Structure 1
Amino acid sequence: MRNKRGQAAMEFLMTYGWAILAAIIAIGVLAYFGVFSPGQYVGSSAVVTAPWYANAWNIDTTNVNLELQNNGGETLTIHDVSVDPSDGATGCTNTGLVGAVNSSGSQIVNVACAGMTSGSTFRGDITITYSRPSSGLNLTSTGSITDTVR
Structure 2
Amino acid sequence: MKMKKGQAATEFLMTYGWALLVVLIAISTLAYFGVLSPGRFLPEKCTVDPGFACLDWSVTSTTTQLVLKNGAGEDLTNVTVTLTDGASCNDTFVPAGGAWNNGDEFTADFNCTLTSGASFSADISFDYTKPSGLSHRGTGELITKVQ
| CA–CA separation in structure 1 for the residues paired with 2:109 and 2:54 | 13
Report the alpha carbon displacement of residue 112 of structure 1 after superposing the two structures with TM. 2.2
| CA–CA separation in structure 2 for the residues paired with 1:53 and 1:90 | 25
Report the alpha carbon displacement of residue 146 of structure 1 after superposing the two structures with TM. 1.0
Ranges in structure 2 where 5+ consecutive residues have no aligned partner: none
In structure 1, what is the equivalent of residue 102 of structure 2?
103
Report the alpha carbon displacement of residue 137 of structure 1 after superposing the two structures with TM. 2.7
Q: SS of the counterpart of 2:137?
A: strand
| CA–CA separation in structure 1 for the residues paired with 2:68 and 2:16 | 58
User: 1:68-127 CA deviation, whole Å, 9 max, x = no partner?
Assistant: 1111333222531112215xx32411256452223211111112233x222222112211
Write the mapping of 1:35-50 to structure 2, written as runs, cut at 5 A.
Answer: 35-50=35-50
Tell me the amino acid that sits aligned with residue 69 of structure 2: Q
Q: SS of the counterpart of 2:112?
A: strand
In structure 2, what is the equivalent of residue 27 of structure 1?
27
Tell me the amino acid that sits aligned with residue 54 of structure 1: C
TM-score for both structures, normalised by structure 2: 0.79
Could you say what the CA RMSD is over the residues aligned between the two structures, in angstroms? 2.6
Question: Is it true that 1:82 corresponds to 2:82 in the alignment?
Answer: yes
Counterpart contact for 2:52–2:70, Cα < 8 Å? yes
Question: Is it true that 1:140 corresponds to 2:134 in the alignment?
Answer: no
Counterpart contact for 2:67–2:105, Cα < 8 Å? yes
Alignment length (residue pairs):
146
In structure 2, what is the equivalent of residue 65 of structure 1?
65
Ranges in structure 1 where 5+ consecutive residues have no aligned partner: none
